[in-house]
Amino acid sequence: MPNHLFDRLFAPHVGVSKPFLHLLDGGIVTYDQFLQTVASFAQALVQSGLRPGDVLAVQVEKSMQALAVYGACVQAGVVFLPLNTAYTASELVYFVRDSGTKMFLGDGPKLDAFRGAFEGLDLRLESLNADGSGSFVTLAGALDTQFETVSRGPHDLAALLYTSGTTGRSKGAMLSHENLLSNALVLTQEWRFSDQDVLLHALPIFHTHGLFVASNVILAAGAEMIFLPKFDVEAMITCLSQATTMMGVPTFYTRLLDEPRFNADLVRHMRLFVSGSAPLLAESHRQFESHTGHRILERYGMTETNMNCSNPYDGARRAGTVGKPLPGVELIITDTATGLELLQGQVGQIEVRGPNVFSGYLNMPEKTKEELRETGFFITGDLGLIDEEGYVQIVGRNKDLVISGGYNIYPKEIELILDEQQAVVESAVIGVPHPDFGESLVAVLVQKPNEKIDVKSLSTNLGAALARFKQPRAYFIVEALPRNTMAKVQKNILREIYKDIFINP
């Protein structure tokens, strides 16, 4: 029976004795061993009463078994719903109810604490622990390691991923077999992955980056992964010598740059470093190239679309840009008010269309209609422009746009200048209520160790570079900017912290 995603990513490796995962404890899992686990887990899903199209929600720590659950869902036609390990019981109840989850797979100790919250829900609960034990594994251990793959077509639902929900209820993005497979194949080709590659994987697998970008690309290429439970500098330094490629978020790279042992000799054999999930500072780009001789490849994606753009493998990898649209992906810049396409170089909302774009939000037809046009273009909510060489620059989120005294202000423009100032590590510019201007700008700064930010001098420098209406009216120095698990700065938290500074000074 044809299964669009399984047949291309998983099935070719059945019976293959080549290593697939290298574990932190030195253990090696071959492709065949992994796929036997996948098959027994698929048997366990069916034994638990799940049918094609049913939803399995998973909140577990990263492990070989956790990744095998994803494969089992694909093989059994079950919809995979990975959930951030930081979510609380009340958040989980929302996801379970909204998605119609039939079975919840959780970490044993946490699951015991959540049972009360789940009471009254028609839901089967099973455990899967970080060490690979748990009731689900016990159930699968008694079952066959052969499984007849369930037929699924390109438009059948493969996964359900919830957005962060910082501006309202979290939305469940419905991703099809074709959405995931098309993106994996394009990235494998664009980033030149082959069966000779070894990827250093320290990302979480409840998110697009670690699961659908990293893992799917490795499966598509028949390559290997060093599968670390989480980012740890010591483990990264040790494992880099065995890898050829690495994918990470900006925090990974900045922390490695702080480590004296991270130098050109350590990574001389590496062929590719990829960064995403949050913008990488231009200064980090420069430092990384200076330290290692490598230039990081930055790309652009999101929950609803997987990857949309990438800097080139061969060619200029330009700091401050996310490269050009991937093959098969159309990207346009449109006016936020009219929806009409803008000229090259003009700032507007980014819209994308292609086989990678999701089919809509679960149980939210109106929201889907608002953000997914009938033409197939998805309104991403990001603001950006296409420069004269066709590279895409992101200037911020639509919701981060500040309107002060009738002027539209894009915080990214100001942040780029602030980040270049003496003693500044990074910055975040936000708009907060102002009695005269509607909104006014606040700059939140992180200073370099053993240095002190001179706000007066910094303000003078900004005055020479920016119009008055673009200059922050208040500056705050903090130890660190608030970030989510994928290293994105949470400006909603900053807006809440500083919302009253001009109202109640």
Is 166 inside any structural domain? yes
Is 225 inside any structural domain? no
Q: What's the number of domains the chain is made of? A: 3
254 or 33, higher pLDDT: 33
Task: Please name the amino acid found at residue 324.
Answer: K
Nearest to 223 by CA among 254, 251, 250, 197: 197
Nearest to 34 by CA among 53, 12, 52, 51: 12
The rounded distance, in Å, linking the Cα atoms of 113 and 493 is 28
Q: Say yes or no: 296 and 376 in one domain.
A: yes
Q: Say yes or no: 98 and 73 in one domain.
A: yes
pLDDT value for 165: 52
Q: Say yes or no: 382 and 405 in one domain.
A: no
Is 203 inside any structural domain? no
Beta-sheet pairing, 330-334 with 324-325: unpaired
Q: Say yes or no: 159 and 280 in one domain.
A: no
Q: Say yes or no: 48 and 135 in one domain.
A: yes
Q: What is the mean pLDDT of residues 211-221?
A: 97
Is 195 inside any structural domain? no
pLDDT band at 166 (very low <50, low <70, confident <90, very high): very low
Token duo for residue 499: 């919302």
Q: What is the mean pLDDT of residues 261-267?
A: 93
Q: Are 60 and 66 contacting, i.e. CB atoms less than 8 angstroms apart?
A: yes
Question: Which CATH number goes with the domain that contains 133?
Answer: 3.40.50.12780
Q: Say yes or no: 115 and 97 in one domain.
A: yes
Per-residue pLDDT tens digits for 446-503? 999 889 999 998 988 888 888 788 899 999 999 999 988 767 888 989 999 998 898 7
pLDDT band at 505 (very low <50, low <70, confident <90, very high): low
Domain C-terminal end among 350, 377, 397: 397
Q: Say yes or no: 333 and 426 in one domain.
A: no
Task: Please name the amino acid found at residue 407.
Answer: Y
Per-residue pLDDT tens digits for 296-341? 999 999 999 999 999 999 999 998 899 999 999 999 999 988 999 9
Residue given tokens 């869902």 in the structure block: 73
Mean pLDDT lowest among 19-28, 73-82, 353-362, 462-471: 462-471
Q: Say yes or no: 380 and 409 in one domain.
A: no
Q: Say yes or no: 384 and 337 in one domain.
A: yes
Q: Say yes or no: 386 and 277 in one domain.
A: yes
Is 210 inside any structural domain? no
Q: Are 458 and 179 contacting, i.e. CB atoms less than 8 angstroms apart?
A: no
Q: Say yes or no: 246 and 365 in one domain.
A: yes
First to last CA, the chain: 68
Is 504 inside any structural domain? no
Quote the domain boundaries for residue 71. Answer: 4-17+31-190
Q: Say yes or no: 384 and 334 in one domain.
A: yes
Question: Which CATH number goes with the domain that contains 480?
Answer: 3.30.300.30
pTM of the model: 0.86
Is 197 inside any structural domain? no
Domain C-terminal end among 328, 362, 397: 397
